[in-house]
Structure 1
Amino acid sequence: MDFYQELRVKVQEWLKSDEAKNNKWAEYLLYAPDLFHLLVKLSLDPDVPAMHKAKLLAAIAYFVSPFDILPEVVLGPIGLLDDVALASWVINTMINDTNPEILNRHWAGDGDSLEIMRKILASADEMIGSGLWEKIKAKIK
């Protein structure tokens, strides 16, 4: 099983738990596997401008790293919230320079990818904490 599949199984299992039912951010974790998939596909797409590839690769590395600001090893799936927010932020920074059709072509999730990412970003400060959110973004800038 690859990272994407493992992530999907982990999130789906957690969403069945009592902890998930009482967590207001649970719906955002549903998008973790799809955002990871999108990061990978965009990083490999020749139509994505080269200037965005480094940020995409950095976000992928952050996603798979056990040593991030909210570590999944310690926090469980809740630790994916920073990964979800960072993936959304990195992809959102590309929008002005990339045809939105490229995003749609690779989006494996349900719903409008841009709308989902905007919703995640609108909640990122509260979801992660503004101080931590700024530290996470600073790692990629």
Structure 2
Amino acid sequence: MSEFKDFYDTLIENLDGYEGEYAYFINCGPNLFNLLCDLLSQKEISREMRLEISAAIAYYVAPDDIIPEEIYGPYGYIDDIFVSVYVLRKVAKEFGYEFLQDLWKHETDVKEVMDDCYDNSLELLEDKVHAVLSYVGLMD
């Protein structure tokens, strides 16, 4: 009988200790994915917020997203990270960063990680931000 791997493990394998350009925040992708998944088990999360969280999770597995990993390798996670933090900032706005920190399984400060990932991914995406948010259905 074969065992299924958790998608978090797949993300870790895909990055495999990536040390290239933008590694300082690209390697945060699996942990942000995990945080999104953990949020779905929280009873406080509304139906509407669950849909946005689910959209961000789904963006990680979408094969033909705006910057596909199959073509760009680890660099292709920049748009995934942006979508994750975009949604996580909405959660933080509603529940506070302490709520997220309690779910965060790392020693680092979740707000600092999110701010760094958001600023860097936003800068790198430039004119693709609208396309990314439209693709996943998160445009305001």
TM bucket, shorter chain? 0.7 to 0.9
Is 1:11 equivalent to 2:15 in the alignment? Answer: yes
Deviation at 1:105, TM superposition (A): 2.1
TM-score where L is the length of structure 2: 0.85
- Which residue does the alignment assign to 1:137? 133
Q: Runs of at least 4 residues of structure 1 off by over 4 A? A: none
Which residue of 74, 83, 86 corresponds with 1:86? 83
Is 1:118 equivalent to 2:78 in the alignment? Answer: no
Consecutive unaligned residues in structure 2, runs of 5 or more: none
- Which residue does the alignment assign to 2:55? 58
Secondary structure of residue in 1 paired with 2:129 = helix
Higher helix share: 1
The 8 Å contact of residues 124 and 133 in structure 1, kept in 2 or not, is answered as no
- Which residue does the alignment assign to 2:38? 41
Opposite residue 133 of structure 2, the aligned amino acid is K
The 8 Å contact of residues 81 and 121 in structure 2, kept in 1 or not, is answered as no
The change in CA–CA distance for 1:119 and 1:62 in structure 2 (over 3 A counts) is: same
Partners of 2:18 and 2:71 lie apart in 1 by 14
Is 1:27 equivalent to 2:24 in the alignment? Answer: yes
The 8 Å contact of residues 63 and 83 in structure 1, kept in 2 or not, is answered as yes
The 8 Å contact of residues 97 and 110 in structure 2, kept in 1 or not, is answered as no
TM-score where L is the length of structure 1: 0.85
Instruction: Figure out how many residues of one structure are paired with residues of the other and give that number.
Output: 133
The change in CA–CA distance for 1:5 and 1:94 in structure 2 (over 3 A counts) is: same
Worse-matched range after superposition: 31-40 or 91-100: 91-100
Consecutive unaligned residues in structure 1, runs of 5 or more: none
Partners of 2:43 and 2:114 lie apart in 1 by 22
Deviation at 1:122, TM superposition (A): 1.8
The 8 Å contact of residues 18 and 27 in structure 2, kept in 1 or not, is answered as no
Percent same amino acid among aligned pairs? 26
